[in-house]
Amino acid sequence: MHGVWWHLLLTVGYGLLSSLIPVFNSEAYVVATAATHLLTPLEVGVCLGLGQGFGKMALFQAVRHAKSLPRLERHKKVERPDPQPGTWRYRWSMVLKWANALVTSRRWGPLGFFLAGSVSLPPSYPTTILVAKTRVNFAVFSIFMTLGLMARYTAIAYGALGVFKHLLHFF
Q: Smallest Cα–Cα separation from 156: which of 49, 19, 14?
A: 49
The alpha carbon of residue 10 and the mean position of all alpha carbons in its chain are separated, in whole angstroms, by 18
DSSP state of 37: T
Q: Which helix (H) or strand (E) holds 73?
A: helix 70-73
Mean pLDDT, residues 8-15 = 95
Query: Measured at the alpha carbon of residue 12, what is the angle toward residues 7 and 14, in degrees to the nearest 5?
Result: 90
For 79, list phi and psi in degrees, rounded to 5.
Answer: -80, 135
Mean pLDDT, residues 13-37 = 91
The DSSP line for 115-127 is HHHHT-SS-HHHH
Output the pLDDT for position 41.
92
Handedness of CA 100, 104, 107, 111 (dihedral sign): positive
pLDDT confidence of 106, banded at 50, 70, 90? confident
Q: Residue 157: pLDDT above 80? A: yes
70 or 99: whose pLDDT is higher?
99
Output the pLDDT for position 169.
66
Output the pLDDT for position 85.
81
Q: Residue 104: pLDDT above 70? A: yes
Mean pLDDT, residues 32-38 = 87
79 touches 44 (CB < 8 A): no
pLDDT tens-digit series, residues 36-95: 888 999 999 999 999 999 999 999 999 999 856 555 555 566 777 777 788 888 888 887
52 touches 15 (CB < 8 A): yes
pLDDT tens-digit series, residues 108-150: 899 999 999 999 878 888 889 889 888 889 999 999 999 999 9
